[in-house]
């Protein structure tokens, strides 16, 4: 125990060799500032030393050097964590906030040259685009803008640089062929188009390209099938088609002109017709024809489309006999029409009179007039 009247620090004039530690302090125990400011007191005999009892007997006191090292290490880890968070915050700030504009100084002459060059390049690009657009326009469309004499002069100039009408047709055919190849590569029999509810039905317009035929052909109508495995042609009446399994679907027809309509269709799956009357081996295409189609003047103008058999076997490829639960009307292709909602409307031929299977791709009415052959959606 250290008594209050005994100083811990010897007088200045005391000789160093004569200094002895106060009572209760050994020579090996260091004297700290806390010892001099808060003198220890002896607890009563009946009070147990709580601090000493709480401390485990095996605890080893840390040396000052260890405590200093620990105090130095801990702030370094905390500081590293704060630095990392700060970097992330600054990165997020730069991402969501507009960065300051850094001025760039250019020589006036260089700027004028660059502006003049950019203007000339832009003008040349616009002129080239206009010339290319004019070159690929159909002749009839060109005459809506200029007189036939001016069109002929511009076409003559185009031919002098190799932009002839024949080359234009080959170019457009190549573009359409590429589009068909991409659409055909993306086709899958397992991928179906969207179906709708009865409440989604919309009016379907009569979209015959010419005059609508009269109903005079319906009583004697027959469907002729050729190119069959049997080697002979087959003719089917409406009753024979109705004897095949009947299916229904509500799908959308999309016209190349930009309009569409949702309708209910009922009839025979094309796949079921192929199964009942299989085509000959090696056949890959079906040519569908309407012999009762008319042109704008009312003259006979047979309509024909080509469908690959892979598309014909699609689970939504239908030879429709009914629309909105009623027999087809003349306006919508009575008594039999094709419904392939995975194709554009021009492939959905009306009033079919013949189906012929072939190994080579057959002719297509609108393809011969500048449209695509595949016409897939």
> Per residue in 157-200, pLDDT tens?
777 777 777 787 777 777 767 766 676 676 676 788 999 999 99
Q: Is the pLDDT of residue 85 over 70?
A: no
pTM given for the model: 0.60
Q: Are strands 285-290 and 354-358 parallel, antiparallel or unpaired?
A: antiparallel
Q: How many residues does the chain have?
A: 377
The full set of domain ranges for the chain reads: 117-186, 198-369
Task: Report residue 332: phi and psi, to 5°.
Answer: -115, 20
Q: How confident is the model at residue 54 (pLDDT cuts 50, 70, 90)?
A: very low
Could you tell me the two tokens for 121? Answer: 């390049």
Residue 80 CA to residue 71 CA, distance in Å, equals 15
Helix, strand, or coil (residue 264):
strand
- 300 close to 376: Cβ distance less than 8 angstroms: no
Could you tell me the two tokens for 112? Answer: 């004028």
Specify the CATH superfamily of domain 198-369: Oxidoreductase, molybdopterin-binding domain (3.90.420.10)
Residue 334 CA to residue 304 CA, distance in Å, equals 16
Task: Report residue 203: phi and psi, to 5°.
Answer: -60, 140
User: Position of tokens 């006999």?
Assistant: 321
Q: Determine the pLDDT at residue 314.
A: 94
Residue 246 CA to residue 322 CA, distance in Å, equals 10
Residue 281 CA to residue 292 CA, distance in Å, equals 30
Which of 170, 183, 184 is CA-nearest to residue 370? 170
> Per residue in 98-156, pLDDT tens?
777 788 777 888 878 888 888 889 898 998 888 888 777 777 777 778 888 888 888 78
The sign of the torsion formed by the CA atoms of 323, 253, 289, 362 equals: negative
């Amino acid at each position: 125990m250290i008594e209050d009247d005994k100083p811990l620090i010897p007088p200045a004039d005391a000789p160093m060799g004569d200094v002895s530690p106060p009572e209760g302090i050994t020579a090996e125990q260091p004297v700290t500032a806390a010892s001099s400011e808060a003198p220890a007191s002896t607890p009563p005999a009946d009070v147990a030393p709580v601090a000493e009892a709480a401390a485990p007997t095996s605890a080893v006191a840390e040396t000052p050097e260890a405590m200093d090292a620990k105090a130095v290490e801990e702030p370094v880890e905390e500081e590293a964590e704060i630095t990392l968070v700060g970097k992330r915050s600054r990165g997020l700030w730069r991402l969501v906030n507009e960065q300051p504009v850094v001025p760039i100084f250019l020589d006036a002459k260089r700027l004028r040259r660059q502006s003049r060059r950019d203007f000339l390049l832009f003008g040349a690009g616009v002129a080239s685009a206009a010339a290319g657009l004019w070159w690929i326009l159909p002749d009839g469309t060109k005459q809506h803008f200029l007189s036939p004499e001016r069109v002929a002069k511009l076409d003559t100039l185009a031919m002098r640089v190799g932009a002839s009408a024949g080359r234009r047709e080959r170019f457009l055919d190549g573009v359409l062929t590429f589009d068909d190849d991409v659409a055909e590569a993306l086709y899958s029999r397992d991928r179906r188009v969207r179906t709708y509810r009865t409440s989604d039905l919309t009016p379907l317009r009569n979209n015959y390209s010419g005059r609508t035929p009269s109903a005079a052909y319906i009583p004697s109508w027959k469907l002729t099938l050729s190119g069959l495995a049997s080697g002979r042609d087959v003719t089917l009446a409406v009753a024979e088609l109705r004897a095949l399994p009947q299916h229904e679907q509500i799908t959308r027809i999309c016209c190349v002109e930009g309009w569409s309509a949702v309708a209910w269709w009922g009839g025979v799956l094309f796949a079921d017709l192929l199964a009942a009357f299989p085509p000959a081996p090696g056949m890959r295409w079906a040519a569908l024809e309407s012999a009762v189609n008319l042109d704008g003047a009312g003259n006979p103008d047979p309509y024909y489309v080509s469908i690959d058999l892979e598309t014909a076997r699609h689970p939504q490829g239908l030879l429709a006999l009914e629309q909105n639960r009623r027999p087809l009307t003349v306006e919508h292709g009575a008594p039999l029409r094709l419904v392939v909602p995975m194709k554009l409307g021009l492939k959905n031929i009306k009033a079919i009179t013949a189906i012929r299977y072939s190994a080579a791709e057959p002719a297509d009415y609108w393809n011969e007039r500048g449209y695509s052959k595949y016409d897939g959606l």
